[in-house]
Chains A and B, each alone.
Chain A
Amino acid sequence: RKEVEQDPGPFNVPEGATVAFNCTYSNSASQSFFWYRQDCRKEPKLLMSVYSSGNEDGRFTAQLNRASQYISLLIRDSKLSDSATYLCVVNPGTGFQKLVFGTGTRLLVSP
């Protein structure tokens, strides 16, 4: 089993829709979690950190479910500019520098 697993997608949604991605992780000792956004042929950029019970930032909400070992990202009122690949990143507890990246979920928002 991979340490971090994501549905590769693509998720095709219309503008204004609500979309959610899940990411599962295998190490129950994992301590911290992040969502990154990566545009085509660009570098990843930090979207949100996910600590304890999760957090919200505008249209974006991230949740952590430790019992089932997954994190989720909810995007409300999708914009065309939200089209990107969303990377789930987990600190497995062996030190911050040993972050494990998922392969990403691709989102396509259409007019």
Chain B
Amino acid sequence: NAGVTQTPKFQVLKTGQSMTLQCAQDMNHEYMSWYRQDPGMGLRLIHYSVGAGITDQGEVPNGYNVSRSTTEDFPLRLLSAAPSQTSVYFCASSYSDRGGYTFGSGTRLTVV
């Protein structure tokens, strides 16, 4: 049972480049979310999904897109990378709205 798998673990992008952060879970969880974590700030919600085909914006959605075509996968796409998107990105999933999240190990992204 792998849990939540994120790839890549590290990435350096140039300003203006695009990329997709991958997230997959094998626990058949309906709820999935993307967070970013910056020094001195709590985790902030970027986008979330309550099931396949259903996504919505979180607190800081600008510059990011998501899709949820299957229960297992929830990729996060950076449209045109900016230095302000340098951060650690976590994907998380949960089986219900009262259960706690299981987080992936994170992607450390640097935009230069």
Contacts and interface: CB of A to CB of B under 8 A. Distances in A.
Contacts, number: 50
Given A42-B105, A43-B106, A46-B100, A99 B45 contact: yes
Interface residues of A, number: 21
A97 B56 contact: yes
Nearest to B33: A97
Q: Which 9 A-B pairs have the closest CB atoms?
A: A96-B97, A46-B100, A101-B42, A43-B103, A101-B43, A97-B48, A103-B42, A43-B105, A44-B103
Contacts of A99: 45, 101
B31 A97 contact: yes
B53 interface: no
B103 A45 contact: yes
Contacts of B35: 101
Residue among A4, A97, A100 with the highest chain B CB neighbour number at 10 A: A97
A50 to B, nearest CB: 11
B58 interface: yes
Interface in B2-36: 31, 33, 35
**Contact-residue bracket for chain B:** 20 to 34
Interface of A: 4, 32, 34, 36, 42-46, 49, 87, 95-104
Nearest to A96: B97
Interface string B81-104: 000000000100010011011111
A34 B100 contact: yes
A49 B98 CA distance: 9
A22 B48 CA distance: 28
B50 interface: yes
A51 to B, nearest CB: 8
A46 B98 CA distance: 12
